[in-house]
Structure 1
Amino acid sequence: MALFQHRTPLLNSLFMSVSFLGNYATYTVWATLLALRRRVVQAQSLFLVASVAMIVTDLLKHAFDTKRPYLLLNIAPLYPQSAAGAAFPSGHVLVACAVFTFWLLATRVTPRRVIAVSVWVGLLALSRLYLLVHWPIDVCAGAVIGVTLGLLLHAFRSDALRNDALILWVMIIVISVILHKMLVEDSMIHLAFGFSALAAALVATGRAFSGRIRTALRTLGFFVLLASVFVPGMATTLTIPSGILTGIGLDRSQQKSDTLIDS
């Protein structure tokens, strides 16, 4: 934790900003912008990869349940959003590595892109260490697991996933209802399952409807989704209907010409 010994106001602001930009909500906004630009396949891919990575992260955190550094050192965290939850693995790093590994494999890999992604993930990992919310093993494990997850998701991506997504969506709804009945209070679990429900709904129902109705439903669905992101306790309840609205509202007319990610 040598980084902690060199804290300055400038570094505090820098690393807090990096951690904020690496939060889960960023991927939601990113996917929203892609979908509104009619980059439907890109938005769906981003939702799927990020949501699967979030669930894997939460499962591992609850399995290991390790304490964050600032708790053991009895220091108030600089980044209040990280005050809850277990340390292992780093969700910020895991999700980023999964998303960007998938993105690099799905596009033309260039040295410039690899360097840009490496620098961003490196800054994100440093920010988590600097803010004392993770141990070095947390960010290292997050990177390894995230890259592996991105490789696996890219290897298994296909149009057949659309049919499986409908089954996954129903399963997630059932699990979400059970969590509510069990009075599970961890908002991040509800957010992860709600996010996944939206991703599955996007893929499963993305071909229906057309015209102005589709545009209206798409817009309404994403507004509901954004509300759920900033009110995590309502995430599961809100993202299921927003998934339906967004899925049936997305414009699929340009799917054949829609590349996975902008080159």
Structure 2
Amino acid sequence: MQFIQMFDNKILEFIRINLHTPMMDKIVPIVTSLGNMGLIWIVIGLAFIANKKYRKYGFIMLCTLCIGALIGDGIIKPIVARARPFNFVENIQLLIKAPTSYSFPSGHTMSSFAAATIIYIANKKMGIGAFLLAALIGFSRMYLYVHYPSDVLIGCVLGITLSIVIYKIVSPKYDKKFNQ
């Protein structure tokens, strides 16, 4: 665990020293806000539901986002209870309001990669764009010092894994019920 913490701290320090610029300080909070409460992904899921061709994927995406929030925020975060990185750095100027929940795993990243995976399954071209946005949102969480790299990495893995599992379970049942 000490190795992971040391690795996390070195990456965050690299980002803070080498990548922070006044322009990035304005752009990154906007990027991270796209992932707030999974709202952009919920809107995309609802748009998918409104389109008959993508309805199944929208339904599965919204299911995945709800289950992911329950697992990530409701179960894993309270069990692991990892404090956020800004709590350990003196005089750090946060560019967003300090989150009050625990750090591990990154909910922004988990929901973003979960949704991006379903979008990719539905449409490869849209999925590539969704994965790029998910990666930017994940990076933004580290840039803003509200998540460690391992929080983001595990959020990514959990989001992708959860969406694939839910898709494999729900898709055949959805097809059986609605495509007879």
Taking structure 2 as the reference length, what is the TM-score of the superposition?
0.76
Query: Which structure 1 segments of 5+ residues have no match?
Result: 162-254, 257-263
Q: Quick one: structure 1 residues 97 and 63, their matched pair in 2 at CA, closer, same or farther if it must change by over 3 Å?
A: same
Contact conserved, 1:77 with 1:83, CA < 8 A, in 2?
no
Q: How does 1:190-201 map to 2 (within 5 A)?
A: none
Structure 1 residues 101, 33: closer, same or farther in 2, change over 3 A?
closer
Note the 1:1-263 alignment, pairs <5 A: 1=12, 2-5=14-17, 6-23=19-36, 24-35=38-49, 40-58=55-73, 59-74=75-90, 75-80=92-97, 82-105=98-121, 107-109=122-124, 112-113=125-126, 115-158=128-171, 160=173, 256=179
Q: CA deviation at 1:42?
A: 4.0
Q: Report deviation, 1:157.
A: 1.2
Distance in 2 of aligned mates of 1:86 and 1:48: 23
CA distance change for structure 1 residues 139 and 7 in 2, over 3 Å: closer, same or farther? same
More helix by share: 2
Higher alpha-carbon Rg: 1
C-alpha distance after superposition, 1:195-251 (max 9, x if no partner): xxxxxxxxxxxxxxxxxxxxxxxxxxxxxxxxxxxxxxxxxxxxxxxxxxxxxxxxx
Over the aligned positions, Cα root-mean-square deviation in angstroms equals 2.6
TM-score by length of structure 1 reads: 0.54
- Shift in Å at residue 30 of structure 1? 2.7
Query: Percent identity between the aligned chains?
Result: 23
**Are residues 119 and 35 of structure 1, via their aligned partners in 2, closer, same or farther at CA, if it must alter by over 3 Å?**
closer
Instruction: Judge conservation of contact 1:53–1:149 (CA < 8 Å) in 2.
Output: yes
What's the CA shift for 1:129?
Answer: 0.6
Quick check: 2:114–2:159 contact (8 Å CA) kept in 1? yes
- Provide the rounded CA distance (Å) in 1 between the counterparts of 2:69 and 2:161: 14
Shift of 1:13: 1.6
Task: Provide the rounded CA distance (Å) in 2 between the counterparts of 1:140 and 1:40.
Answer: 29
How far apart, CA to CA, are the structure 1 residues paired with 2:48 and 2:128? 23
